[in-house]
């Protein structure tokens, strides 16, 4: 008898259930911000509601349309991608209250994703007091950004595309541990996929799996030259580290336990950077010095046509967003830019940036982006035609790195800026 009464009570309760009322208003402050291959959708999120975003290519979209891709249970802000740059997309959203029907829809908002690199947002200077930052690296597997600089300065932050303060990272943090007494000026940092490696101007090497706890690795031996650049690449599938410095100094290591001088650097010029943009190492330096190597041991000097005596500071490789094809690009002082399709023959671009822009570093994400003195920025979709930009109010920029949908640059007095 008790079981029959209990079942009857449950049936009665079920009969009394009513679907929750739909929200009375559309989501407020609905915005769509275009980015590089993505958009960021934001709104005033209210507790207890479930938000639905509908979007499709073109200028209009209808909430609930079976033809429109749907994002269910969205949280503000929400990054949507990949989307084709240069194409218009329309967005609309509504909300439900638990199991209610959909409430009123927002107005349709359209946006056109576009390449990053043209406009920049600066963050607060890093450090107290701020130190010059000389290198920056992104570890994709770690999803972290690391910046290094003078007086043993290290900063690390989790990549966060939607963060506005600080831009680009959830927060910049300083090391939890460094080698005792380590105060070397750091000239460069790179990632090999599983860890970050930083180079001191005195040849010291430190490494970290998270950007916070740093340990010493083997220093570059018996070298009085200032060391300026560090790269990681593969030589016949063997992980290889290369460090370069003044007087044509080039050292290599496969394990960070032993460093070996290059068999033939074929230069006595000061070398300012080294990179492994694609299948070959490229070193650049004073008086137009440009070297390439496939084995990191024997280096071949390259002469541009026409030759340049300006210092060269960095190299990158990219396919570009136009039909121009794959291109190597080197940048340097007085707006010097050199391009090559094979890494052997180098020529100036068709449309360089203004010659007053001395460029210190270059990266390729969806386009080429170079940064330099006085907050100078130059960008190109093909490596051949360049446009100028700048980081407002920024001091000299020394390094730039590409991250998903975003570029990060660092420089003098703790400068850091993001373009997305």
Q: Is residue 152 part of a domain?
A: yes
Give the pLDDT of residue 141: 93
Instruction: Clarify whether residues 86 and 179 are in a common domain.
Output: no
Quote the CA–CA distance of 100 and 21 in Å, as a whole number: 6
At a CB cut-off of 8 Å and minimum separation 6, what does 254 contact?
A: 238, 239, 240, 241
**How far from chain centre, in Å, is Cα 258?**
30
Q: Which domain holds residue 208?
A: 121-419
Instruction: Clarify whether residues 321 and 240 are in a common domain.
Output: yes
Q: Is residue 281 part of a domain?
A: yes
Confidence of residue 222 (pLDDT cuts 50, 70, 90): confident
Per the DSSP assignment, residues forming a β-bridge with 399 are: 410
Give the pLDDT of residue 323: 53
Instruction: Clarify whether residues 289 and 175 are in a common domain.
Output: yes
Biggest distance spanned by C-alpha atoms of the chain: 101
What is the average pLDDT across 292-302? 97
What is the average pLDDT across 24-36? 98
Confidence of residue 394 (pLDDT cuts 50, 70, 90): confident
Give the pLDDT of residue 119: 97
Q: Is residue 4 part of a domain?
A: no
What is the average pLDDT across 340-361? 89
Which of 57, 77, 111 represents a domain boundary (last residue)? 111
**CA proximity to 365, closest of 391, 404, 337, 400:** 404
CATH number of the domain encompassing residue 78: 2.60.40.10
Say whether pLDDT at 334 is over 50: yes
Give the pLDDT of residue 15: 41
Token pair for residue 186? Answer: 């750091």
Sheet order of strands, 312-318 included: 312-318, 327-332, 337-340
Share of the chain above pLDDT 90, in %: 89
Q: For 162-221, how does the pLDDT look when each residue is reduced to its tens digit (9 = 90+)?
A: 999 999 999 999 999 999 999 999 999 999 999 999 999 999 999 999 999 999 999 999
Give the pLDDT of residue 6: 34
Say whether pLDDT at 234 is over 60: yes
Say whether pLDDT at 1 is over 60: no
The answer to whether 291 and 274 are in contact (CB under 8 A) is: no
Q: Is residue 414 part of a domain?
A: yes
Instruction: Clarify whether residues 73 and 206 are in a common domain.
Output: no
Please give the mean pLDDT across all residues of the chain. Answer: 93
Q: Is residue 273 part of a domain?
A: yes
Give the pLDDT of residue 10: 32
Instruction: Clarify whether residues 50 and 177 are in a common domain.
Output: no
Give the pLDDT of residue 7: 33
Quote the CA–CA distance of 141 and 154 in Å, as a whole number: 19
What is the average pLDDT across 4-16? 36
What is the average pLDDT across 237-250? 97
Q: Whole-angstrom distance between the N-terminal and C-terminal Cα of the chain?
A: 69
Instruction: Clarify whether residues 366 and 309 are in a common domain.
Output: yes
Say whether pLDDT at 9 is over 80: no
Quote the CA–CA distance of 386 and 356 in Å, as a whole number: 14
Confidence of residue 19 (pLDDT cuts 50, 70, 90): confident
Which of 111, 145, 176 represents a domain boundary (last residue)? 111
Token pair for residue 105? Answer: 């829809």
Q: Is residue 21 part of a domain?
A: no
Instruction: Clarify whether residues 293 and 149 are in a common domain.
Output: yes
Give the pLDDT of residue 256: 98
At a CB cut-off of 8 Å and minimum separation 6, what does 158 contact?
A: 143, 144, 145, 169, 170, 171
Instruction: Clarify whether residues 193 and 81 are in a common domain.
Output: no
What is the average pLDDT across 343-371? 91
Q: Helix/strand/coil (H, E, C) string of the chain?
A: CHHHHHHHHHHHHHHHCCCCCCCCCCCEEEEEEECCCCEEEEEECCCCEEEEEEEEECCCCCCCCCCCCEEECCCCCEEECCCCCCCCEEEEEEEEECCCCCCCCCCCEEECCCCCCCCCEECCCCECCECCEEEEEEECCCCEEEEEEHHHEEEEEEEEEEEECCEEECCCECCCECCCCCCCCEEEEEECCCCEEEEECCCCEEEECCCCECEEECCCCCCCCCEEEEEEEEECCEEEEEEEEHHHCEEEECCCCCCEECCECCCCCCEEEEECCCCCEEEEEHHHCEEEECCCCECEECCECCCCCCCEEEEEEECCCCCCCCEEEEEEHHHCEEEECCCCCEECCCECCCCCCCEEEEEECCCEEEEEHHHEEEEECCCCEEEEEECCCCCCEEEEEEECCEEEEEEHHHCEEEEC
What is the average pLDDT across 371-379? 96
Give the pLDDT of residue 14: 38
CATH number of the domain encompassing residue 269: 2.130.10.10
Instruction: Clarify whether residues 315 and 378 are in a common domain.
Output: yes
Q: For 271-285, how does the pLDDT look when each residue is reduced to its tens digit (9 = 90+)?
A: 999 999 999 999 999
Confidence of residue 319 (pLDDT cuts 50, 70, 90): confident
């Amino acid at each position: 008898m008790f079981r029959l009464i209990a079942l009857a009570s449950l049936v009665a309760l079920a009969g009394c259930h009513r679907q929750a009322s739909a929200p009375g208003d559309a989501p407020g402050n609905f915005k769509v911000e275009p980015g590089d291959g993505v958009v960021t959708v934001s709104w005033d999120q209210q507790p207890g509601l479930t938000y639905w975003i509908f979007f499709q290519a073109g200028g209009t979209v209808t909430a609930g349309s079976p033809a429109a891709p749907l994002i269910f249970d969205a949280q503000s802000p929400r990054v949507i991608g990949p989307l084709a740059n240069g194409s218009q997309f329309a967005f609309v959203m509504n909300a439900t209250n638990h199991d209610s029907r959909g409430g009123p829809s927002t107005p349709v908002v359209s946006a056109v994703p576009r390449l990053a690199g043209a406009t920049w947002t600066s963050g607060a200077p890093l450090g107290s007091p701020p130190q010059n930052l000389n290198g920056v690296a992104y570890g994709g597997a770690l999803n972290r950004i690391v910046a290094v600089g003078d007086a043993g300065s290290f900063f690390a932050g989790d990549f966060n595309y939607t963060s506005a303060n600080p831009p680009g990272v959830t927060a910049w943090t300083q090391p939890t541990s460094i080698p005792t007494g380590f105060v070397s000026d750091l000239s460069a940092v790179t990632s090999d996929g599983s860890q970050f490696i930083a180079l001191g101007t005195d040849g010291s090497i430190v490494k970290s799996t998270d950007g916070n706890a740093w340990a010493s690795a083997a220093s570059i031996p018996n070298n009085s030259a200032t060391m300026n650049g560090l790269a990681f690449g593969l030589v016949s599938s063997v992980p290889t580290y290369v460090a370069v410095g003044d007087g044509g100094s080039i050292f290599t290591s496969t394990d960070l336990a032993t460093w070996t001088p290059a068999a033939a650097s074929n230069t006595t010029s000061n070398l300012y950077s080294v990179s492994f943009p694609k299948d070959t190492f490229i070193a650049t330096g004073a008086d137009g010095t440009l070297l390439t190597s496939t084995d990191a041991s024997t280096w071949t000097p390259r002469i541009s046509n026409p030759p340049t005596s300006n210092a060269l500071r960095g190299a990158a490789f990219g396919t570009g967003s136009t039909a121009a094809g794959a291109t190597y690009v080197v940048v340097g002082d007085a707006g010097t830019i050199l391009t090559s399709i094979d890494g052997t023959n180098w020529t100036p671009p068709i449309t360089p940036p203004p010659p007053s822009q001395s460029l210190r570093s270059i990266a390729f994400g969806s386009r080429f982006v170079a940064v330099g003195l006085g907050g100078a920025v130059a960008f190109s979709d093909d490596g051949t035609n360049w446009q100028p930009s700048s980081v407002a109010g920024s001091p000299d920029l020394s390094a730039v790195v590409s991250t998903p949908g975003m570029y990060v640059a660092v420089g003098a007095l703790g400068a850091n800026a993001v373009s997305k």
